[in-house]
Chain A
């Protein structure tokens, strides 16, 4: 009897937690379909006009293009760098490896504002600030440690004999990497790609500092917000939320995969 009560209470707790986390997001989704200009209750009628507004707004399109470009490039670079770091950790033992790993995992521990300022100062010294590529560079620094963490976990599961077995059967180091390590790590690579893409897509502070005129979506949202309280913000927010949550779910699905499924028989 008391077991059932505890179970019930735990479910309630979980429910409340989810309400707490998701109600602001849900609210913005609801108001994005509301015809009233101000977010008040009772609601007005259902409308798609705010979506129509952002759809017709060239600024939103340009920000979306920048965001997609930046997040795709960031995800590719961060996953590549993350894989390389994780592989060196898996494969080699060397002096100062602890320091090497600490350094590789450092960026997310630095406050974003400090990071953003440092990035701005450094990139403008190099004369490459204020471009989409500047955001890619900054985001890659920020995201690579996440990719490394995910891929490293996967490589820790590999039987250390697998790579040696591949060499033993005549594979060069490069072919062994291509045919054994990468396929084994594939779920983690996809997971890392999606997660870093989501992080980059959502990131505001660093992007705001280094993007210059190449606004990403989060930067655009803040700028619109400073000017108006137009419900098109909710529409953009809904779009951003859906993109991110999709990426995160894909990342999660692949992260959970043990990756032991056979390839289709030839």
Chain B
């Protein structure tokens, strides 16, 4: 079997004493939409810059189509990038910006105009061909940056937080544009972001990084429902994490003593657990049920409402158990409307054993 398109083989990057990327092992398949996610300083941008040749790995090897590319200059690679700052050339107009990559490859003037125009049309900005960059809106600039990067028809496109400067509506629209583009072109997108919604909305696989290390690689669903570590569980989504000790072990079932009392869970079949072992449980905020009367569920606890927060159609409630454990609950606005909420009112929180996830390790 041929090697995947992009391989990071034990790649290490140090800046002085600081380790930016720590022994990275990562493979990206051709035509994949890969998102690299993490908070600032986690090494995600450094990873992208190493792929573009703007940083050289201190150790290890990066391979593109089986070829070591560590020593290739940025200009010798076919890995154009869409920059967080966009980095459009301010003294060139729209089409001159788009043409730039072709000009640097010595493509003749008529031909590069023709190809640049095709991309302007494709990005629906053909009418701005001769506009100056500073006469464009944020979304239009974004499209120019995409056209400029794609005009040479590269096998890989790198994107460094390209949507971070746009307002919320536009972000959603550009996500659509990017997803469609990636599918149509069938080329590999490596997308760096700190935004979970962007990564989950578009990516085939997500890489979660922290302090230079990869915490987890998986589909958005895997990362969301089966986080590989406490860090991922905290970073992704709004999860409640409970520490406890294993109390009762039966085939297929497991009871863990926690600050909320005993919690029943489905026993994970991929690892050994012993009685008395310390474990961490993840209760997804969107898996918790809410009612005003005592529900008929194994896992239930009476809580009092602390606060509620509206974000569009989603409401996040913060409740407190008698033992002082705070739980976050996420509900659709219309579901909440059916329960009339008042401050300090008693509420029953319940969840099914199958929705409890036992963190590995």
B100 and A169 within 8 A (CB): yes
Closest to B101 in A: A169
**Within 8 Å of chain B (Cβ to Cβ): is A226?**
no
- Docked CA distance A173–B81 (Å): 17
B74 and A260 within 8 A (CB): no
Task: Please tell me which one of the listed residues A162, A167, A180 contacts residue B74 in the complex, with CB atoms under 8 A apart.
Answer: A167
B100 and A259 within 8 A (CB): no
Name the segment of B127-135, B172-180, B201-209, B229-237 touching the other chain.
B127-135
Closest to A184 in B: B91
Which residues of chain B are within 8 angstroms of A175 by Cβ–Cβ distance?
Answer: 104
Give the Cβ gap from B81 to chain A, nearest Cβ, in Å: 5
A170 and B83 within 8 A (CB): no
- Docked CA distance A266–B113 (Å): 10
A167 and B75 within 8 A (CB): yes
B101 and A265 within 8 A (CB): no
- Docked CA distance A241–B83 (Å): 49
B75 and A172 within 8 A (CB): yes
Give the B interface residue count (CB, 8 A).
33
Interface positions of B from 108 to 157, Cβ below 8 Å from A: 129-134, 148-149, 152
Give the Cβ gap from A260 to chain B, nearest Cβ, in Å: 5
A169-B100, A170-B105, A170-B152 in contact; A164/B92 too (CB < 8 A)? no
Size bin of chain A's contact surface:
20 to 34
**Within 8 Å of chain A (Cβ to Cβ): is B89?**
yes
**Within 8 Å of chain A (Cβ to Cβ): is B244?**
no
**Within 8 Å of chain B (Cβ to Cβ): is A161?**
yes
Interface positions of A from 29 to 46, Cβ below 8 Å from B: none
A168 and B54 within 8 A (CB): yes
Main SS class of interface, B: loop
Give the Cβ gap from A257 to chain B, nearest Cβ, in Å: 11
Task: Please tell me which one of the listed residues A159, A179, A260 contacts residue B87 in the complex, with CB atoms under 8 A apart.
Answer: A159
- Docked CA distance A135–B191 (Å): 58
Scan A229-247; emit 1 where CB is below 8 A from any B CB, else 0.
Answer: 0000000000000000000
A168 and B96 within 8 A (CB): no
Give the Cβ gap from A146 to chain B, nearest Cβ, in Å: 24
A168 and B91 within 8 A (CB): no
**Within 8 Å of chain B (Cβ to Cβ): is A127?**
no
A170-B104, A175-B104, A184-B91 in contact; A161/B83 too (CB < 8 A)? yes
**Within 8 Å of chain A (Cβ to Cβ): is B90?**
yes
Give the Cβ gap from B305 to chain A, nearest Cβ, in Å: 48
Which residues of chain B are within 8 angstroms of A171 by Cβ–Cβ distance?
Answer: 75, 100, 104
**Within 8 Å of chain A (Cβ to Cβ): is B162?**
no
A263 and B81 within 8 A (CB): no
Which residues of chain B are within 8 angstroms of A159 by Cβ–Cβ distance?
Answer: 85, 87
Closest to A167 in B: B74
Give the Cβ gap from B72 to chain A, nearest Cβ, in Å: 11
Other A-B pairs beyond A168-B79, A171-B104, 19, CB < 8 Å: A159-B85, A161-B83, A161-B85, A162-B89, A165-B81, A165-B83, A165-B89, A166-B100, A167-B53, A167-B73, A167-B75, A169-B148, A170-B75, A170-B105, A172-B104, A184-B90, A260-B132, A262-B133, A263-B96
CB<8 Å pairs between A and B, sample of 26: A161-B87, A164-B54, A165-B81, A165-B87, A166-B89, A167-B53, A167-B54, A167-B73, A167-B75, A168-B52, A168-B79, A169-B100, A169-B104, A169-B152, A172-B73, A173-B75, A179-B104, A184-B90, A184-B91, A260-B91, A260-B134, A262-B92, A262-B93, A262-B132, A263-B96, A265-B130
